[in-house]
A and B are shown apart, each in its own frame.
Chain A
Amino acid sequence: MELWRRAANPWGQDVLIGISWDLMWAAVFAGLAFTLAHAVWAKWLAPAASTDAGGGSSVAGLPAQILRHALSERVFHWVMSAAMLVLLITAFAPVIGIQFAWVTIHWIAGLILTATIVYHIIHAVFWQDFWAMWVNKADIEAGLAELSHMVGRNGTEVPKAAKYPIDHKMFHHGASVSGLTAIVTGIFMMLRIDTWLGAANPYLLDITDSTWGVVYVVHGISGVALFGLIITHIYFAIRPDKWWITKSMIYGFIGQDKYVENFDPNRWAIPGAAPQEERVPAGVGASLGSDDAVVGSSDAAVGSGDVESGSNDTAAGGGDLAVGGGDATASGGDAAAGGGGAAATGESPSDSDDGRASEVEGLD
């Protein structure tokens, strides 16, 4: 497999002229191999649902539907997605023999992408919590715990996520680096073609053939990297177990149950909802992932007054907010033993395994 294409320029210098299209196939292979491996793992090898390390707190006043992506963010996402897909199609379809006049479409889509990214940067800096997308120590710890859990260490405690889990952040940063690199190099490359912005002038910046070659190679690498990233992104977007996240990018909201199940209210606070100070026992979060718990929590969406109720009551009756279990030790033990449904059994800590029980006690 070749990585680059090289040629002798008019001065006899051996210069880069672009990436080898083998890299495109490598990106496709890598993206598809990853998705296939993940699909196999998720279907047959994935361990039981992870347990919560106790990072969550009880939340009072949660609405039934929680806004995850505002309209402006959704419009941005889909316009950017459309531009990105057009860019990838116009870049790579001709390579595989699907021929059409792609150049004009490509640079126009590139300008649209650039505009959306500029908007997003300004919006994120001035109107959003810029640091919400930043990877911090808690994310790394959660990511390592998740990885540990994924490789089969059942019972590994995985803290709940902030608004953006670390895998989302990593994808965002990967796509950002690739996208911004493609944009910057693409703008330079536009100097070499006729556009509505002006006639081609490849000598405007007095850049040598060698440097131009690097620009083209970097642009190409960014493109194939985005190709691979987007394959995986689309894969996760259409997975049934992730569909609730995808729907939130369409409709804007996630259900209260998904919020309670997956997010730490101390790291993603919902306006109007008040995280309580009580520490939540490990396992409660996992138990909320069950259907039983979802029903319970849904019913108890505003049940802040019931927070002190025992978890046994919560699970069985569904009248109380599930995460608000006051009897931390008891519910934690249940979750560790049996996941969501176990919460309803009301087993005591002594019924669960010793190690798990001691972890729960440690939390207390």
Chain B
Amino acid sequence: MAVIRDMIPAFELFQPTNVEDTIELLDRYGEDGWVLSGGMDSFDWFKDRIKRPAAVVDLVNVDELRGVRTTPDGVEIGALTTLTNVADHPELTADYSVLTDAASHIATPQIRNRGTLGGNLSQDTRCWYYRGGWPCYRAGGNTCYASAPTAMNREHCISGSSRCVAVNPSDSASALIALDAKFVIRGSRGERVVDAQDYFMRPSVDIERMTILKPGELLTTIRIPSTWAKATFYYEKVEDRKSWDFALMTIASAIRMSGGVIQDVRLAVNGVAPFPVRLEKAEQVVRGRTPSDDLGMEAGTVATEGAQPLRHNAYKIDLMRNLVRRAIRNSAEA
């Protein structure tokens, strides 16, 4: 079991002032490079001496990655924007409150002051077997300690696993999926834009990465289209305590109502799989129907179909069903 130490292993530290230099540095070091933004995830790894990058590229001086900008199509949020700035931003609060709700539920005010939106989306899983430095699948080994019959897996996933049963810990991910956000990724080979749900790596594809970011790539911007501005939103984070805790599960929904009927909807959850999940089947169930508690229950039942709980997390099936139910019911109340 790893023990946090005061001294972190030595590495080359770079503090570029623009994205181009950052990309050049990341490209130069490849898998030996490490992107440091708020440091809320990185320093744990460094102090545990589990991750030992040769070079750390600190983004602290890359100001162009900070801030919220209005565009003709919606808003763009720099990946380096702090969670506090996201949570308190008036335009985001007015038009995309599901995101500001999510951001305001992350950790503590101190952490939100340092932590960034890009970092929250790109952070590593919190499975303690993995974080403990054990040679599990995600760490390049050949077993999953969390899925063993005797494992402590109350917080782990109930679907989407492929050898690894860890969950994605991001609170903001489900909100951005509900908002149909696009993530802008830059690397030495140029820029690519992906849908929010596609940013997160499936363990069946690559079990050692949480996102699709390749070595040398950087998440630069989160684009939120105006499609869902001022929609009916719902966000809920379920955690063991009301502050400074990782979510057991989060749900975010964006619903467009018309004549008392759900015209369009996007539902997303996190904490149920190794990646945030958009609940498309549940969306199909409720689309075109009048929201109600019964409809929410029906959608929740559909959403949990195929869930496979581990020894200690069967409660997550009920939890997920009820969160979907509440999200749909909320739109009726709204």
Show the binding face of A for B, using Cβ within 8 Å: 5, 7-10, 15, 17-18, 94, 99-104, 192-194, 199-203, 209, 212-213, 216
In the complex, which of the residues A10, A199, A216 contacts B308, with contact meaning CB atoms closer than 8 Å? A199
Instruction: Collect the chain A residues with CB atoms within 8 Å of residue B134's CB.
Output: 9-10
Give CA–CA (A216, B137) in the complex, Å. Answer: 12
State whether the Cβ of B334 lies closer than 8 Å to any Cβ in chain A: no
CB distance from B198 to the nearest CB of A (A): 13
Q: A200–B135 contact, CB under 8 A? A: no
State whether the Cβ of B82 lies closer than 8 Å to any Cβ in chain A: no
Q: A103–B204 contact, CB under 8 A? A: yes
A193-B162, A193-B163, A200-B147 given; A7·B205 CB < 8 A: no
In the complex, which of the residues A8, A102, A203, A216 contacts B148, with contact meaning CB atoms closer than 8 Å? A203
Give CA–CA (A15, B135) in the complex, Å. Answer: 9
Give B160-173 as 1s and 0s: 1 = Cβ < 8 Å from A's Cβ atoms: 01110000000000
Question: Which of the segments B138-146, B225-233, B267-275, B316-324 contacts the partner chain?
Answer: B138-146
Instruction: Collect the chain A residues with CB atoms within 8 Å of residue B144's CB.
Output: 192, 200, 202
Show the binding face of B for A, using Cβ within 8 Å: 1, 129, 132-135, 139-145, 147-150, 161-163, 202, 204-206, 308
CB distance from B13 to the nearest CB of A (A): 28
Instruction: Collect the chain A residues with CB atoms within 8 Å of residue B206's CB.
Output: 94, 99
In the complex, which of the residues A101, A103, A216 contacts B142, with contact meaning CB atoms closer than 8 Å? A216
A10-B134, A203-B148 given; A101·B202 CB < 8 A: yes
Instruction: Collect the chain A residues with CB atoms within 8 Å of residue B133's CB.
Output: 8
Give CA–CA (A5, B144) in the complex, Å. Answer: 17
By beta carbon, the residue of chain B nearest A209 is B143
Q: A202–B147 contact, CB under 8 A? A: yes
Q: A10–B145 contact, CB under 8 A? A: yes
Give CA–CA (A101, B308) in the complex, Å. Answer: 19
A-B contact pairs, 28 of them (CB 8 A): A5-B140, A7-B135, A7-B140, A9-B135, A10-B132, A15-B135, A17-B135, A17-B141, A17-B142, A94-B206, A101-B204, A102-B205, A103-B162, A103-B163, A103-B204, A104-B204, A193-B162, A193-B163, A194-B161, A194-B162, A194-B308, A200-B147, A201-B149, A202-B144, A202-B148, A203-B148, A213-B142, A216-B142
A10-B134, A94-B206 given; A17·B140 CB < 8 A: yes
Give CA–CA (A169, B178) in the complex, Å. Answer: 61
In the complex, which of the residues B129, B150, B163 contacts A200, with contact meaning CB atoms closer than 8 Å? B163
Q: B135–A202 contact, CB under 8 A? A: no
In the complex, which of the residues B147, B149, B161, B205 contacts A100, with contact meaning CB atoms closer than 8 Å? B205
CB distance from A5 to the nearest CB of B (A): 7
By beta carbon, the residue of chain B nearest A100 is B205
CB distance from A265 to the nearest CB of B (A): 52
Give CA–CA (A67, B216) in the complex, Å. Answer: 57
In the complex, which of the residues A5, A94, A100, A202 contacts B143, with contact meaning CB atoms closer than 8 Å? A202
Among B135, B162, B202, the one with the most A-chain Cβ atoms within 10 Å of its Cβ is B135
Given contacts A101-B162, A202-B147, A212-B143, 8 further A-B contacts (CB under 8 A): A9-B135, A104-B204, A194-B308, A199-B308, A202-B144, A202-B148, A203-B149, A209-B143
Instruction: Collect the chain A residues with CB atoms within 8 Å of residue B142's CB.
Output: 17-18, 192, 212-213, 216
By beta carbon, the residue of chain A nearest B201 is A99
Give CA–CA (A36, B142) in the complex, Å. Answer: 36
Instruction: Collect the chain A residues with CB atoms within 8 Å of residue B308's CB.
Output: 194, 199
